[in-house]
């Protein structure tokens, strides 16, 4: 079971160090923190596993504002998120750029969490599986690739997929690619157990709740109680 905390644009180096000093992950669960780029070093100083929130598809070049997999590895970062819906919505990420980022990061030696998920309009139109197939089929299977199913309508909205909805989507994704699949979308201590208990849910990509050390710790503890 893998529990990853995506901090988005929260927690600079000082707050990251303070969080890590208080955070004591329980044994029996893999835990990853994904702080902003400026806070990666502070997270690494705690000896926790740290992923970046994005990574470029080239080793170097004239790409202002981007960071390469080679740079992340040199720093000691273990992996990266790619294709998050906020990157797709606000910064023009596409299925193609997500696949390129994932492929280079994996080739370079990073682990990757590739995010997929449908909008509320797409779900209401009965297009969930069509959208997931389009997003997943551009990804190449790899032992270090993890897929995160994050229904866009459940990110930052307080809405959460039901356990049955999550299980259905995860089973569909696993039918397309051999990979562990995490659930993301308003995961909280209150709903973590019922979501993580579904047979095809292999962990969670936690957003807002991962910013609170007590809430994130409780989600991690919940994961240890789920039979593997």
Pick the catalytic residue: 70, 150, 170, 198? 150
Our answer to whether residue 56 is catalytic in this structure is no
8-37 tens-digit pLDDT: 999 999 999 999 999 999 999 999 999 999
Give the domain CATH number at 93. Answer: 3.20.20.70
164-213 tens-digit pLDDT: 999 999 999 999 999 999 999 889 999 999 999 999 999 999 999 999 99
Establish how many alpha carbons lie within 13 A of residue 52's alpha carbon, considering only the half-sphere containing its beta carbon.
27
Q: Is residue 214 pLDDT above 80, yes or no?
A: yes
Tokens of 179: 């990979």
Pick the catalytic residue: 56, 84, 142, 170? 84
Per-residue pLDDT at 67: 98
Query: Strand 2-6 vs strand 30-34: parallel, antiparallel, or unpaired?
Result: parallel
Domain count for the chain, please give it.
Answer: 1
Residue 30 structural domain = 2-224
Split at pLDDT 50, 70, 90, the class of 158 is confident
d(CA 206, CA 109): 24
d(CA 221, CA 227): 13
| CA nearest to 33, candidates 182, 217, 210, 220 | 210
């Amino acid at each position: 079971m893998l529990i990853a905390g995506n901090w988005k644009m929260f927690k600079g180096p000082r707050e990251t160090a303070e969080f890590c000093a208080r955070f004591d992950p329980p044994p029996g669960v893999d835990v990853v923190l994904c702080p902003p780029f400026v806070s990666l070093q502070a997270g690494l100083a705690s000896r926790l596993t740290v992923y970046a929130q994005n990574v470029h598809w080239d080793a170097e070049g004239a790409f202002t504002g981007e960071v390469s997999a080679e740079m992340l590895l040199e720093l000691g970062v273990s992996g990266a998120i790619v294709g998050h819906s906020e990157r797709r919505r606000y910064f023009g990420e596409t299925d193609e750029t997500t696949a390129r980022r994932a492929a280079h990061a994996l080739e370079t030696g990073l682990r990757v969490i590739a995010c997929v998920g449908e909008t509320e309009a797409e779900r209401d139109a009965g297009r969930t599986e069509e959208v997931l197939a389009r997003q997943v089929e551009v990804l190449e299977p790899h032992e270090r690739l993890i897929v995160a199913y994050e229904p866009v309508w459940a990110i930052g909205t307080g809405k959460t997929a039901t356990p049955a909805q999550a299980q259905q989507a995860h089973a569909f994704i696993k039918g397309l690619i051999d990979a562990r699949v995490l659930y993301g979308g308003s995961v909280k201590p209150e709903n973590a157990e019922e979501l993580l208990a579904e047979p095809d849910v292999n962990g969670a990509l936690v957003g807002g709740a991962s910013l609170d050390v007590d809430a994130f710790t409780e989600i991690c503890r919940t994961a240890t109680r789920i039979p593997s």
